[in-house]
């Protein structure tokens, strides 16, 4: 039995869809002494993060607000700034994460209109359009859309949602959760007509958990300015300030931001297009392996439409009788590959392989082979050649 604190020989491969592995340059950048708040390096670091995030989000029309918070924190920032208690939001169903955001809004006293989640499929833009047309009283203030639902492994078409909102003639703002897609899949905030984008540090951004951010365009900021709902820490109006202490409503998370500046530098150094291409290439390799495994009859893709399969994470369904927790334990403790389980309604029905962030072909092949070894060790039929198919995919055959 391996004790959790005992030494792990070699590297354990981290293939959860967040947190993701940290590049050495990010680790090194964070290992610095904190600075006094008047040190000009503090402001320079914050400015670099704001500018870099705007560049990555492809927005000139927005202000970025950064929080010492996780994704749930910035979800709450959006709810608190864009809506007053009693005002409704529309949350299109994409799986566990859209539902979690909806539940959070309801807990804060905001009624939620949901469009149905069709398991394994992306957001139904036509259903969104219809729900907005049906809202004759214009009670819905915003549409909260999850770009990549990390539980489903499905990426939705944000442009189609924008067109649906426009076609309905409804004034609701469009908010996109890019927590799992930013730095992995193409996203251009201004061109897509997104009013608010919501992200977090621990996935495609290759940083530790603990930093969340929003980009807010003019119309969305104006809504926040008019919103009488009481709020303090999350308040965009309060945070729009030149002083770093005010921007962060207190002390900025300096070392995490040093890491973020380094990570953004790595992304721009590689080239954003190249980063997206790398994610597509690695996702294809994982999908090729799953194609092979599913010939054994026990595994399959949760995302039914190949075009909506995420480049960040692949959700693999398992037949009844496959013990996902035991599989994950064997993969992690015996083969040193950490993968994620199913979430919400997929608990016990799926496992997930993350392939985003600081990831390369050798890491992906190691992860796939390690998962295949764990499947075999657990007696799960995997057909033949899953790993071989991934090799062929990466080799361009």
User: Of the listed pieces 29-37, 50-58, 176-184, 334-342, which binds ligand PLP according to CB under 6 A?
Assistant: 176-184
From 163-171, 172-180, 269-277, 328-336, span contacting ligand PLP (CB under 6 A): 172-180
Residue 18, interface with ligand PLP (CB under 6 A)? yes
Binding segment toward ligand PLP, per CB under 6 A, in 64-72, 189-197, 217-225, 381-389: 64-72
CA separation for the pair 71, 62 (Å, rounded): 19
CA angle 47, 238, 105 (to 5 degrees): 105
Does residue 292 interact with ligand PLP by CB under 6 A?
no
Only segment of 135-143, 159-167, 175-183, 235-243 that touches ligand PLP (CB under 6 A)? 175-183
- The verdict on 179 binding ligand PLP (CB under 6 A) reads yes
String marking each residue 123-162 x if it binds ligand PLP according to CB under 6 A? -----------------------x---x------------
What φ, ψ does residue 123 adopt, rounded to 5°? -60, 135
Which of 199, 151, 100 shows the shortest CA–CA distance to 114? 100
**Does residue 204 interact with ligand PLP by CB under 6 A?**
no
Asked if residue 341 binds ligand PLP (CB under 6 A), the reply is no
Q: Which is nearer to ligand PLP, 103 or 237 (CB)?
A: 103
199's CB contacts (< 8 A; 6+ apart) are 53, 57, 74, 177, 178, 179, 182, 205, 212, 213, 214
The tokens describing 68, both together, are 């010492």
Note the residue count of the chain: 397
Q: Which residues contact 238 (CB under 8 A, 6 or more apart)?
A: 232, 246, 249
Give the span between the Cα atoms of 160 and 193, in whole angstroms: 11
Answer yes or no whether residue 30 interacts with ligand PLP by CB under 6 A: no
Q: What six digits make up the tokens of 183? A: 């730095």
Q: Where are the alpha helices (DSSP H) in 111-253?
A: 125-134, 158-168, 189-192, 218-226, 236-239, 244-247
Q: How far is the CB of 187 from ligand PLP (least distance, A)?
A: 13
Counting contacts by CB under 6 A, is residue 70 touching ligand PLP? Answer: yes
Sites of contact with ligand PLP (CB under 6 A): 18, 70-72, 97, 146, 150, 177, 179-180, 200
């Amino acid at each position: 039995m391996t004790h959790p604190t005992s030494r792990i020989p070699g590297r354990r491969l981290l293939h959860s869809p967040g947190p993701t592995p940290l590049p050495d340059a990010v680790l090194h950048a964070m290992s610095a002494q904190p600075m006094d708040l008047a040190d000009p390096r503090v402001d320079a670091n914050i400015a670099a993060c704001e500018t870099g995030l705007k560049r990555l989000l492809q927005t000139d029309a927005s202000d970025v607000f950064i929080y010492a918070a996780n994704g749930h924190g910035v979800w709450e920032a959006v709810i608190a700034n864009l809506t007053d208690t009693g005002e409704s939001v529309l949350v299109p169903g994409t799986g566990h994460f859209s539902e979690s955001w909806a539940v959070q809004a309801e807990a804060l006293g905001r009624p939620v209109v949901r469009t149905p989640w069709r398991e394994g499929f992306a957001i139904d833009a036509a259903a969104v359009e219809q729900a907005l047309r049906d809202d004759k009283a214009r009670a819905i203030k915003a549409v909260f859309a999850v770009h990549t639902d990390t539980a489903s492994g499905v990426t939705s078409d944000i442009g189609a949602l924008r067109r649906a909102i426009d076609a309905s003639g409804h004034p609701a703002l469009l908010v996109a959760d890019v927590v799992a897609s930013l730095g992995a899949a193409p996203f251009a905030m201004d061109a897509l007509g997104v009013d608010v984008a919501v992200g977090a540090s621990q996935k495609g951004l290759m940083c530790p958990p603990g930093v969340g951010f929003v980009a807010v365009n003019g119309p969305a900021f104006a809504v926040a300015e008019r919103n009488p709902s009481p709020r303090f820490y999350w308040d965009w109006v309060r945070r729009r300030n030149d002083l770093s202490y005010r921007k962060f409503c207190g002390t900025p998370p300096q070392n995490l931001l040093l890491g973020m500046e380094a990570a953004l530098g790595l992304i721009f150094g590689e080239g954003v297009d190249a980063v997206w291409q790398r994610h597509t290439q690695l996702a294809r390799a994982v999908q090729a392996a799953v194609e092979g495994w599913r010939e054994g009859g026990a595994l399959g893709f949760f995302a039914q439409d190949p075009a909506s399969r995420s480049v960040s994470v692949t959700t693999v369904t398992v037949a009844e009788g496959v013990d996902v927790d035991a599989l994950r334990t064997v993969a992690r403790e015996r083969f040193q590959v950490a993968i994620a389980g199913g979430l919400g309604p997929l608990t016990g029905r799926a496992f997930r392989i993350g392939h985003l962030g600081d990831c390369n072909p050798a890491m992906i092949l190691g992860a796939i082979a390690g998962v295949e070894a764990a499947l075999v060790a657990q007696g799960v039929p995997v057909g033949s050649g899953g790993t071989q198919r991934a090799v062929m995919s990466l080799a361009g055959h």
